[in-house]
């Protein structure tokens, strides 16, 4: 029976013209934000997409006119597929594993990927979320959509939903941080900047904040660094996780910090939050405060990170006795 691997990610607009429909898809998801009663979700999502569209298009224009997330995720899929070949053949599998990409809010959508897998003869699917730390708003939403779609096909499936402290993932992060530390003459403060989440989610039991802290704890057991944690990308008027990255920049500057290495702790790929928010917005803000801000490179297709993904896949397949 043929087994396939499906990498789940957010997705991003592939052109400036795709920004508004991408935002509509994003804000239509009630797992992320509930915009009044259910029947009002899509009309309000359309209004928000229209209101935010022009400003958000400008952000994407500044990073090249589109999100690079699909290209990076496809490169991760290709690298993972290659890394799995010797591991799978060592286990005596009859054929190599094929790796697919499915996005939640833009093309290729999860439903497109699952249909393609079925057409290719795949009958067992391991869905791997590319969000290391679980949240109902990220992994939870993508996995729910995947399960809804795959239920319409004769395909067995299993999902990997959290790997915030996987040893090889931690090694890959530590490698990127060591590289960044070498850019400074003196040891900088390391600021782990995670994507924010409404505080209500945490109050209701979402493990995202604890898993983020768990990732940092594992990294800092390997590295002797002066570090802080902050949260970025807040939207809307409700209370979100604190402190914000903007607040932390001002606080560190007030403490006399001059050199800062920002580590995008909840992102494994470059996209709008790293390329615009950190590299442009926060860097300019830091400069105005007298702080030199540099960002650790995202994991993207680093060899150690691909090895981490391969290890997770093989272990999961072995647990399911699919190898």
pLDDT classification of 315: cutoffs 50, 70, 90 = very high
Query: Is the residue at 191 inside a domain?
Result: yes
- Domain of 251, in residue numbers: 167-295
Q: What is the pLDDT of residue 86?
A: 84
Query: Is the residue at 221 inside a domain?
Result: yes
pLDDT exceeding 90 applies to what percent of the chain? 90
- Rounded to an integer, the average pLDDT of 103-129 is 98
How far, in Å, CA of 82 to CA of 84, rounded? Answer: 5
Contacts 24+ apart (CB under 8 A), 239-245: 239/198, 239/199, 239/200, 240/196, 240/197, 240/198, 240/199, 241/194, 241/196, 241/197, 241/198, 241/199, 241/202, 241/209, 242/199, 244/196, 245/191, 245/193, 245/282
Between 320 and 95, residue with greater pLDDT: 320
| Nearest alpha-carbon partner for 56 in 235, 249, 284 | 235
* Confidence check: pLDDT of 39 > 60: yes
Query: Is the residue at 236 inside a domain?
Result: yes
* Confidence check: pLDDT of 93 > 60: no
Per the structure, how many domains does the chain have?
1
- Rounded to an integer, the average pLDDT of 122-130 is 97
Query: Is the residue at 217 inside a domain?
Result: yes
Query: Is the residue at 189 inside a domain?
Result: yes
Q: DSSP string of 93-110?
A: -SSPPEEEEEESSSSSBH
Each residue's pLDDT tens digit, 228-286: 999 999 987 789 999 999 999 999 999 999 999 999 999 999 999 999 999 999 999 99
Query: Is the residue at 268 inside a domain?
Result: yes
Residue pair 253/290 in contact by the 8 Å Cβ criterion: yes
Query: Is the residue at 174 inside a domain?
Result: yes
Residue pair 313/5 in contact by the 8 Å Cβ criterion: yes
pLDDT classification of 94: cutoffs 50, 70, 90 = low
How far, in Å, CA of 140 to CA of 146, rounded? Answer: 10
- Rounded to an integer, the average pLDDT of 155-161 is 97
Q: What is the pLDDT of residue 36?
A: 83
How far, in Å, CA of 152 to CA of 311, rounded? Answer: 29
Only one residue has tokens 């105005």, namely 288
**Model pTM greater than 0.85?**
yes
Query: Is the residue at 253 inside a domain?
Result: yes
* Confidence check: pLDDT of 26 > 60: yes
- Rounded to an integer, the average pLDDT of 79-96 is 77
* Confidence check: pLDDT of 144 > 90: yes
Q: What is the pLDDT of residue 90?
A: 61
Each residue's pLDDT tens digit, 165-216: 999 999 999 999 999 999 999 999 999 999 999 999 999 999 999 999 999 9
- What does the block give as tokens for 278? 């950190």
Sheet holding 292-295, edge to edge: 227-232, 189-195, 259-264, 292-295
- What does the block give as tokens for 16? 């400036």
> Which range among 19-33, 66-80, 298-312 shows the weakest confidence by mean pLDDT?
19-33
Backbone angles phi, psi at 125, to 5 degrees: -125, 130
Residue 265 sits in a domain whose CATH number is: 3.40.50.1400
pLDDT classification of 96: cutoffs 50, 70, 90 = confident
pLDDT classification of 13: cutoffs 50, 70, 90 = very high
- What does the block give as tokens for 106? 């833009």
Q: How far is CA 295 from the centre of its chain?
A: 16
pLDDT classification of 95: cutoffs 50, 70, 90 = low
Q: What is the pLDDT of residue 91?
A: 57
Q: What is the pLDDT of residue 33?
A: 82
Q: What is the pLDDT of residue 32?
A: 83
């Amino acid at each position: 029976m043929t087994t396939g691997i499906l990498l789940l990610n957010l997705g991003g607009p592939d052109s400036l013209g795709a920004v508004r429909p991408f935002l509509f898809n994003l804000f239509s998801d009630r797992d992320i934000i509930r915009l009044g009663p259910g029947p009002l979700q899509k009309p309000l999502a359309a209004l928000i997409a229209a209101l935010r569209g022009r400003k958000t298009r400008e952000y994407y224009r500044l990073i090249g006119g589109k999100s690079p997330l699909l290209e990076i995720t496809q490169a991760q899929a290709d690298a993972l597929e290659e890394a799995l070949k010797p591991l799978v053949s060592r286990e005596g599998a009859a054929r190599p594993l094929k790796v697919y990409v499915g996005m939640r809010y833009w093309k290729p959508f999860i439903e497109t990927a699952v249909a393609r897998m079925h057409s290719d003869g795949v009958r067992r699917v391991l869905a791997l979320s590319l969000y290391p730390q679980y949240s109902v708003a990220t992994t939870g939403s993508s996995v729910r959509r995947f399960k809804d779609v795959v239920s319409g096909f004769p395909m067995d499936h299993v999902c990997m939903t959290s790997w915030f402290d996987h040893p090889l993932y931690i090694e890959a992060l530590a490698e990127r941080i060591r590289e960044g530390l070498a850019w400074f003459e003196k040891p900088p403060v390391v600021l782990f900047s995670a994507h924010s989440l409404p505080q209500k989610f945490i109050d209701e039991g979402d493990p995202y904040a604890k898993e983020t802290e768990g990732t940092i704890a594992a990294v800092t057991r390997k590295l002797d660094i002066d570090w802080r944690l902050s949260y970025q990308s807040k939207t809307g008027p409700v209370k979100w996780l604190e402190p914000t990255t903007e607040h932390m920049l001002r606080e560190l500057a007030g403490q006399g910090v001059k050199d800062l290495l920002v580590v995008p702790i909840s992102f494994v790929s470059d996209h709008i939050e790293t390329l615009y928010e950190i590299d442009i917005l926060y860097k300019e803000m830091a400069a105005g405060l007298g702080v030199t801000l540099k960002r650790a490179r995202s994991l993207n297709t680093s060899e150690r990170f691909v090895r981490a993904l391969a290890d997770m896949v093989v272990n999961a397949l072995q647990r399911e006795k699919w190898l």
